[in-house]
Structure 1
Amino acid sequence: MTVLRRCYLQFFALLAATSLIACASTEPTVKEQLAFASVAQIQQLYSSNQLSSEELVRYYQAQIAANNETGMQLRAIIDLNPDALQIARQLDQERANGTLRSPLHGMPVVLKANIATADRLPTTAGAEVLQDHYTASDAEVVAQLRQQGLIVLGKANLSEWANFRGFSSSSGWSGLGGQARNPYLPTHTPCGSSSGSAVAVAADFSLLSVGTETDGSIMCPASINGVVGVKSTRGSVSGDGIIPIASAQDIAGPMARYVDDARLLLNAMLTPVAREQMEQQQGDTKKVLLVRAYDEQFVGVEAMTERVELQLEQVGIDVVSTDQWQLPDGLGDAELEVLLYEFKRDLNQWLSDYDAPLQAATIDAVIAYNNTHADRVLVHFGQEYFEQASAIDLEASEDSYLQALQTGRQLASEFLDNLLEQHGADAIVIPSYGPAWPIDHENGDGFNFGTSTAGAVSGYPSVTLRAGFENELPLGISLIGPNYSDYQLLELARILEASGSGFVAPQMQTATE
């Protein structure tokens, strides 16, 4: 063999080896594939035996350890489930034996801290008065999730008492959890009250989470943290076991990074009757009403709205527009009367049913405890909503409450129905909220605008997903439709996601090995 030929062979061998090294180095590791993964990606890793549920739980535990109390100090999680790894191992064994309980078998989920669990996780609503309060039974929706093989990873921080304690509150702050922060800009609010639930999925602390909403408590944090949030049709998810504000409007809902994941979690949470009605109601969205109602100082919101219009038209959906979104007079007053009345009635019942400690046996006991420990509990804002609710004579006020309940629902549903019918639209598309504002414990929240109230009071479903940015801060677009149009709205959200809207990961500090 000539020297020249030998040199050529050595050169090509080196080139081949270098190419193999390059290919190997660009192949993502399993851990790299887990970052901000979807359910479908996790399912693929499970089915190919590259990942176990135990390993996935350990991954999220490391993520939380890196940036919850330390690192970025996002404070999205109040409590971690000490039994999560054991539950994961059990579900891994079931998978090895050929048993899959549901498409979410072995998937971790974080629950808002106002949702009761019969385990070693306390149910506190973030309030010091309920510290270390363990309930003897699961909320009904938690029992459903466990039956379908989900792993409760922990409890999420929230605006204390679901943001119905007092005026001038700071969303995402609770006495037990501290101040939750926005992963896109930690000096800014995560909104609330399902603050930690939204931050957990946005910051890759969990694959899935559950929040609750009375008015905006899923829609606002989902929008401001750039994730998908679903406020489902009233009554479609059981509220049994959830610390209440008001049964007329309270509902738990899924929060996730991706639309398909939110739909899978919603399916796991729905009552069978609601699921059947949504399947019957589902159809193609042919025409939408795009509402251009927003504060014009936010150029990102305007740009988002224009882009969403173009995305819808490009897939053949007819778009009509309006700049009118003026809620009916009297709606806000009717809603507040209902919330205060039902808060006293429903919270007292929950505290009794779930054996709250003596210091929290009634709403009046909670008020007294807070006053006694005001230097800690009332350090940032008061408890005016508690005091207003406490002052209500339920029997004497019943007729007025029932009238307010009827009035509020009628005003909200007629408002939405008239918009849909006037424009012949299947759904309403509207900016969800403005961008996040700086956290300010002295003055409280700096809300700019929001569009959740009509859907909340009427009970109609709403979905929000990220569709733009105001500088570095996510912006959400809301989809609102008639009762049980949840699946149709989620399909519309999936179309927008595929067109370029959808989750964009924040710049996170990496978990240490």
Structure 2
Amino acid sequence: MKLHSLIAGGVMLAAALPAAAYDVAEKSIVQIKADLAAGKVTSVELVRLYRARIAALNPKLHAVIALNPLAASQAQAADAARRSGKPRGPLAGVPILIKDNIESADPMPTTAGSLALAKNMPGRDAPLVAKLRAGGAIILGKTNLSEWANIRSTHSISGWSAVGGQARNPYAFDRNTCGSSAGSGAAGAASLAAATVGTETDGSVTCPAAINGLVGLKPTVGAISRTYVVPISHSQDTPGPMARTVTDTALLFGAMAGSDPADPATARADAIGTDFASGLRPDALKGVRVGVLRYAAGFHPATDVAFDAALAKLKQAGAVLVEITKPPHDKDGEIGRLEQIVLMTELKADMATYLASTKAADVPSRTLADLIAFNTAHAATEMPLFGQELFEIAEQTKGLADPAYLKAEAEAHRLAGPEGIDKLLADNKVSVLVAPTLGPAWLIDPVLGDHFAGGGAGSPPAVAGYPHLTVPMGLANGLPVGLSFIGMAWSDAALLCYGYAYEQAASARQPPRYLSTIDYGIKALNRAASEM
């Protein structure tokens, strides 16, 4: 069901939200679970309160695409189970929003933000959603995203989709939310649900988490099933949890993780377990050698100030900091060139596989070529500001058996993983790498598109399929920035432990203020000019 049919009234900012006996703003999953157990709130009330908050804020944020009509009945069932003394799972009765490229059996379409999938009602749960339900979570609705997970155009505006419009940052409405889990980032920051789920191919969990003041985990590829998630790349795609604390992120990750026979990459997932929260402790960094990727900083002065403050907190928490000033060998951006070959080839093949699994009556497009034709036929709504160059490049690729693709996939993984992250860890005798995730949110710019402030160190773990955790490290020029923790494959649990210890030492996250704009420094500049 489309969201605009469920929301009445105009835009109200957070300060104008109606008073309620229970305030969901900034409430963690841990706190909500405690309050549910103590009878301070019910799941039915939580659904009502989050819906009221969405009604108030979403017309400005465009963070939520659809609300689940069955959420209230799911909440009633959760409350009944709790009253009977049998609450189900670690997320029992907790409302969660999922990105709208993830299928659920609820009566909501899975659109990936595209009008080509506007009627895509699969009637099936992605395995990760089935696991969330088994853990007791209530699927509150779907979040907006950069259309097709930001893989359609080199000139895209992150956070825009034909279905959901332009997502906006709750810290300043004229700022971007980053892609492609843009709505999940904005919704999580604005407390439109207890937590959210995003997906990442390269940066699409960690980027929106960082610039929306959230914790975000891009897990090891294969830790969470990708079945019935609209794909880009089976080599790099992974869903990931996004929340306001590390503990909540660990709980959400544990609820989704696990093997899936339909996704061969998950074969090892059951072996790593699902309890990632109980081992979190504030002294987890004591004596740990931490590699500081100094070469991945230096792109934005205010972000550098926040990074230096974060390093001081790591040291305060007992970490031994090891400066790394030289990046691993990547001649002339070879990893990025190889990644492009992999993503384009797998996009064409994996999209065809996904479209073939949908109902033909609801989704007439069955190939990437069909989607290109659809966009051309509906250019006024699908391509009002940017085109589909990447789709067109992908359509020209030669398939998964192409020797050029197979060579690129192997070399990209080798350079980013064994000869990149693994080598940095081994050569410097460190357990984890840290860097700024990227700079603060940029202005939404329909003319020039995205303006990323620095690249941080997120691309190597994305290409290698290794885990990457971002944790808030405060504000830069009034906007959130994040600290990245990067490790070897299947070190997700360790990264969460390190991130938790840093979080407890730093307490760096600041909630959004829902400003129309950030005028940081403008008044001072104007005053200086007037005095000349």
TM-score w.r.t. length of structure 1? 0.90
Question: Which of 6, 29, 34 is matched with 1:39 structurally?
Answer: 29
Question: Which of 351, 355, 361 is matched with 2:359 structurally?
Answer: 355
Aligned equivalent of 1:442: 447
Distance 1:263 1:198, change over 3 A: same
The separation in 1 between residues aligned to 2:327 and 2:141, in whole angstroms, is 39
Mean alpha-carbon deviation: is it higher for 381-390 or for 241-250?
381-390
Question: Which of 144, 147, 150 is matched with 2:131 structurally?
Answer: 144
CA deviation map 1:410-446 (0-9, x unaligned): 0001111111112110000110011111101121111
Distance 1:208 1:430, change over 3 A: same
| Superposed counterparts of 1:96-495, under 5 Å | 96-271=83-258, 273-277=268-272, 285=285, 286-294=288-296, 296=298, 298-325=300-327, 328-329=330-331, 330-356=334-360, 357-394=362-399, 398-413=402-417, 414-450=419-455, 451-495=457-501
The separation in 2 between residues aligned to 1:205 and 1:403, in whole angstroms, is 44
Unaligned runs of 5+ in 2: 1-18, 260-267, 516-532
The separation in 1 between residues aligned to 2:21 and 2:484, in whole angstroms, is 33
SS at 1:499's partner residue?
helix
> Given that residues 292 and 305 in structure 1 are in contact (C-alpha distance below 8 angstroms), is that contact kept between their aligned partners in structure 2?
no
> Given that residues 105 and 150 in structure 1 are in contact (C-alpha distance below 8 angstroms), is that contact kept between their aligned partners in structure 2?
yes
Identity %: 40
The separation in 2 between residues aligned to 1:280 and 1:190, in whole angstroms, is 30
The separation in 1 between residues aligned to 2:452 and 2:204, in whole angstroms, is 13
> Given that residues 258 and 274 in structure 2 are in contact (C-alpha distance below 8 angstroms), is that contact kept between their aligned partners in structure 1?
no
SS at 2:158's partner residue?
coil
SS at 2:123's partner residue?
coil
CA deviation map 1:55-104 (0-9, x unaligned): 011111011000101xxx00000001111111100111011111122121
C-alpha RMSD of matched pairs (Å) = 1.9
Aligned equivalent of 2:44: 54
SS at 1:234's partner residue?
coil
The separation in 1 between residues aligned to 2:54 and 2:328, in whole angstroms, is 42
The separation in 1 between residues aligned to 2:307 and 2:294, in whole angstroms, is 7
> Given that residues 150 and 156 in structure 2 are in contact (C-alpha distance below 8 angstroms), is that contact kept between their aligned partners in structure 1?
yes
Q: Which amino acid aligns with 1:47?
A: A
Structure 1 position 148, deviation (Å): 1.2
Structure 1 position 353, deviation (Å): 0.7
Distance 1:327 1:505, change over 3 A: farther
Unaligned runs of 5+ in 1: 1-28
SS at 1:154's partner residue?
strand
CA deviation map 1:287-318 (0-9, x unaligned): 10011235646222111221122111112211
> Given that residues 99 and 197 in structure 2 are in contact (C-alpha distance below 8 angstroms), is that contact kept between their aligned partners in structure 1?
yes
Aligned equivalent of 2:77: 90
Larger C-alpha radius of gyration, 1 or 2?
1
> Given that residues 355 and 363 in structure 2 are in contact (C-alpha distance below 8 angstroms), is that contact kept between their aligned partners in structure 1?
no
> Given that residues 298 and 470 in structure 1 are in contact (C-alpha distance below 8 angstroms), is that contact kept between their aligned partners in structure 2?
no
Distance 1:79 1:358, change over 3 A: closer
Distance 1:301 1:275, change over 3 A: farther
The separation in 2 between residues aligned to 1:169 and 1:448, in whole angstroms, is 16
Q: Which amino acid aligns with 2:64?
A: I
> Given that residues 473 and 483 in structure 2 are in contact (C-alpha distance below 8 angstroms), is that contact kept between their aligned partners in structure 1?
yes
Structure 1 position 202, deviation (Å): 0.1
Q: Which amino acid aligns with 1:299?
A: P
Q: Which amino acid aligns with 1:362?
A: T
Aligned residues: 477
The separation in 1 between residues aligned to 2:497 and 2:513, in whole angstroms, is 29
